[in-house]
Each structure stands twice: as structure tokens, then as C-alpha cells.
Amino acid sequence: MRAAMILTLLAAVLFPRLDFAFGGAPKALKLERAFPVGNRHGAVVELSHLRARDKARHGRRLDSVDGVVDFPVDGTYDPYLIGLYFTRVQLGTPPKEFYVQIDTGSDVLWVTCSGCSGCPHTSGLNIPLGFYNSGSSSTASLVACTDAKCSLGMQSSDSGCSISTNQCSYSFQYGDGSGTSGYYVSDLLNLMTVVGGSEISNVSASIVFGCSTLQTGDLTKSDRAVDGIFGFGQQDMSVISQLASEGVAPRAFSHCLKGSDGGGGILVLGEIVEPNMVYSPLVPSQPHYNVNLQSISVNGQILPIDPAVFATSGNQGTIIDSGTTLAYLAEEAYDVFVQTISDAVAQSVRPMLNKGNICYKITASLNAIFPQVSFNFAGDASMILKPEDYLLQQNSIGGSPVWCVGFQKIQGQGVTILGDLVLKDKIVVYDLAGQRIGWATYDCSSSVNVSTATSTGQSEYVNTGQLSRGDALQNVPYGLAASSVLTLLIRSLFL
């Protein structure tokens, strides 16, 4: 992630089972949404709290192997609770386990290191926090200034170089006032491979990641602390890019986030195959996943919004970001959008203000009252939103639920961000090699197919029901059910 560019953007923003086919054998990470302890079902989280959470998250914006690499799952996803996605990764020799946040808005995998200043030692997520020590790993090596990976980081203004030590360092300063700095390390990412649902073997891949020695701001807080961040961005320092450059993994990943209270879903490296997928091209040369939103329709009628409001220019544009809880519309689009929704339901419900949010007291079926919304993108690709995709239930009055507009207004900045509120219950494919993003409405508790051509030009299909979940769930906090699993599957062969 280009630090300077993200700082400018963030300052402008309100801040805030499985069946799959792979070319070759897949590897898997599992992850899911988590929330601070004490906030559980029935608890009401104010939209202002979610906006604050989004603000912070916007700021942080091998050889081929056979089998499925199965990572244990922790936490749970709940769209009404302030949470994050995280998984466990094992680094070094002997391997040590770390909990890392999944973040599509940044590029580098980094973990806290021994002697880190300002790094939390406990977490409100009920997970043990650890510290990486390169001196305790027999396969670790520091990244020198002359290393090509250091040059990649320097190109994006993330890396620096200590002349006296010839050591490649980094410093990320974020728009929410937080930051991290440290140095780059090369070490093994250790993976457990499950073959045929029974045979288990261990494999590893050498990657470069950050070793954090200083953290400031929100990163120092313990309420939702993890050991680091796993960046899923497009830049060359991301783990995805590193594995892809070595021919280990495709330059593509997909997710399907379950919207119910049980949460969970799927996140895969590779493309989920679904007949109803539509694709829109990525705007080139952007640090984020920018797409060309052309118009918004309500009940089939295009709203009178100038398409230039959504255009990518400088730090303006439309961003798809699974790291954002809510969704955000540029000011010129927001007012028209909300007014049109209110007009469409005027004979059934009246809007009311609830702590600054536009809300509606519902006495009938939500889908029977509220209209269907369509976001229309370049490439003739429309994203259909049900009422649950633009409204959030906040509380109840007299036994009747109150639903509020989940979209928030970004004033005077020309920025639109489509977060989890919109992306849930959909397959979303990030095809970086093809420079496009695709989506399809989907039941994310169902199985999926992931297909990538092998070197022979054929697709191989693997039943992901082979993944052994019993062991992975034995130590999961909160007594999670299998339906809450959010899996990250990594394909091991790439054309």
C-alpha cells in the first residue's frame, strides 16, 4: 500500500462443505469475524460506533504442494457488532502461531516482534498474543537493503534503509493517528496440508513480512488486539503477490461473507465459479480496489446523479472494501439515494431521525415495503441490493423493529466505499491478473466451486469437504458451530 496515498485518502474520508476446483492442489486458511467480549446477541451497536470502527480500519488500509492447508478458525462474524476477520498463521522454525487480521486495504503481512514498544500484551478477543523473534527461528534472515523485496517496498514509499546496518525497514503512518514501524524479515510460512481428507503433512513457503517494533494509536489498544495484519492488497509486497510471482498461487482471491448472526463464510485464493457472476474492470494504477460505478437505480429507475460523482480522480472514486463494516456514499449521491428510498416507502412508513440517522419503524415484512436497489458498474455489471443490504436493524420501538439506513454520507470528498453491509451474502471475486472484480448474490453457507486452469489447461475439482474441521474447532472460543467457519483456501499450482 502506498502510505502517502492512503494517508491522503483516509484524511479525506469520514473515518471512520465447500466444493471447489483448483488447478493443482489447494491450500487453505480459515478465518472469521470477531467481536470484543461482552458484546453479544441482543446488544445494540450505534451506527456512530460502526463509523468509528470503519474510520480506524480505513486507516490500516514455494514449491508446489499437494493437499489442502487447513488453518484453525477463531472468533465469529456479526454485522451488528464491532469485529474483524482474523486467522492464525505459523511463522518460523520451529513454527510459532500468530493471530493476524485480514485486511484487503493494505498489502504487507506484519506481526509484533520481541521488544515491541506500545504493542498490547492482552486482547479483548480472548486470544493469546505472542511476539515473533527472528533470533529464535533457524530459518529467519533479515532483509538487506540490496534485496529486491526491499526495493519493492521503497517503490511504494513503505520501506526505508539503514545504511549502518544494511537492514530494510518500514514505517506505516495511518490517517487515524496510529502507526507501526519495524524491519522486514524473510522466514517460513508454515502450512498444514490435508490430502484426501485423511493424510496430513506439513509444508512451508518462504515469504518476506514485517517485524513490528513500534505501534502507536489504536494499534496499542487491547480491546480488539491481534498479533498483526495480513494485507490482501495488490502491491508486490503482499503475500498473494509474493506467492504468485513464484508460481505458487494465482493472482486472484474471492470471498463470500455470510450475513446472518452466525456469521462465517469463505475467503479463497483463486476464483469462485458461479454461473451468475458478473464482472467489472478495476480502475488501473490504484492502491485500492477501485471500480467505475456509473449509476444507482431504485425500483429500476436511475437516480439523477452525475456519473462524475463516482469517477476515479486523484483520491476520489468508488472502492470495494471488505475491511469496511458499513457503506459510504459521496454527498451528492447520498441525499438523492435516501430521499428516493423514503419516497418509495412513504405510504407504508415514515422516516424518523434516530441519533442523526435516517430510520424507519417497520410493522410489516421488510422486503414487502422497501425497494430493490441496483448499483450499476462499467462492463454492464449490476450489483443488486436487497433492503438488508442498505438497511441495518438498530433496535425496536413498541415491539416493532427499527431499521436505519446503513449507508453513511461522506461530505465533499467524492468518495464511495462499499463495505460488508453491501458485500455480505455475495460471492466477490478479485481477479488481479485479469484486473477485474466480479460478484453474484449467493448463500454463503453453501458450498462453492473454485476453478483455475493448470499448466495442462485443464481444471481439477477437489471436494473441500475433505477439510477436517473437528480438530480446528476444538479450541475455538465462544463455542462456535461449524456453520461459522470462514475459510481461506489457497491454490498451490498456478499456470
Would you call 372 exposed, middle or buried from its count of C-beta atoms within 10 A (0-12, 13-18, 19+)? Answer: middle
Q: Which amino acid is present at 440? A: A
Contact in structure between 17 and 468 (CB atoms under 8 Å): no
Q: C-alpha cell of 326?
A: 458499513
Angle at 77 between CA 275 and CA 86, to 5 degrees: 95
Closest listed residue to residue 84, CA positions, set 197, 288, 227: 227
Instruction: State how far the Cα of 57 lies from the Cα of 52, in Å rounded to an integer.
Output: 9
- In sequence order, what are the residues at sequence separation of 6 or more whose Cβ sits closer than 8 angstroms to the Cβ of residue 440? 274, 276, 277, 278, 426, 427
> How many CA atoms lie less than 13 Å away from 51 in the CB half-sphere?
16
Alpha carbon distance 190, 193 (integer Å): 10
Longest dimension (CA), the chain: 73
Angle at 106 between CA 115 and CA 451, to 5 degrees: 120
Distance, in Å, from the CA atom of 246 to the CA atom of 248, rounded to the nearest integer, reads 5
Nearby residues of 207 by Cβ (< 8 Å), 6 or more positions away: 109, 186, 187, 188, 189, 239, 242, 243
What is the identity of the amino acid at 75? G
Considering the candidates 70, 74, 78, 103, report the single residue annotated as catalytic: 103
What 3-state class would DSSP assign to 392? strand
Question: Quick check: is 103 catalytic?
Answer: yes
Report DSSP state, residue 305: -
Tally of CA atoms within 13 A in the half-sphere of 428 that contains its CB:
23
Q: Are 428 and 255 in contact (CB under 8 A)?
A: yes
User: Amino acid identity of 206?
Assistant: S
Which candidate in 218, 321, 389, 431 is catalytic? 321
Would you tell me how many other CB atoms lie within 10 Å of the CB of residue 474? 8
What does DSSP assign to residue 414? -
Closest CA to 14 of 219, 174, 176, 233: 176
Q: Which residues pair with 96 in a beta bridge?
A: 91
Catalytic residues: 103, 321
